[in-house]
Amino acid sequence: MPAQHVSRVRNLYRRLLQLHRALPPDLKALGDQYVKDEFRRHKTVGSDEAQRFLQEWEMYAAVLWQQTVKNRQNSNEKACFGTSLSEEKLNDFRDEQIGQLQELMQEATKPNRQFNITESRKPKF
């Protein structure tokens, strides 16, 4: 695997985790875990699939960055993240990907998310 490709993958991975810092804590945890799982799962794919994988994640990073900037500018409004998938895009997904997407949607929309994240507190002396 060329060093340039490895560098591109690592930089994108780091950028995604950095962008997730702007998400609410429960969505950050969910997003971080999903990114880690997907990058691990695609570690040994062929060249064509690797290119598509990187392009999709780079588009996600661009959208998330735009939404983060917009949310910061409209700080009085509730933060909004995400985008709808077109029917054309959904039709390109394999059955396995549709299943993953459904699981992700269910997890992201649970009223009581499985993640129990609390901000660290300074110890009282």
The pLDDT tens digits of the residues spanning 50-109 come to: 999 999 999 999 999 999 999 888 888 888 888 888 899 888 888 988 898 888 888 878
Position 54 in a domain: yes
In 1-125, the DSSP E strands lie at none
- The model's pTM is 0.75
Position 41 in a domain: yes
Of residues 41 and 118, more confidently modeled: 41
Q: How far is it, in rounded angstroms, from Cα 114 to Cα 33?
A: 13
Tally the domains of the chain. 1
Alpha helices (H) in 20-46, listed in sequence order? 25-41
Q: H or E segment at 69?
A: helix 47-73
Q: Which amino acid is at 72?
A: R
- Between the CA of residue 112 and those of 8, 26, 30, 109, what are the distances in Å? 36, 10, 13, 9
Asked whether residue 36 carries a pLDDT value surpassing 60, the answer given is yes
Position 14 in a domain: yes
Q: How far is it, in rounded angstroms, from Cα 118 to Cα 8?
A: 33
Position 122 in a domain: no
Position 55 in a domain: yes
Q: What is the DSSP letter of 33?
A: H
State which residues form the domain around 98: 3-108
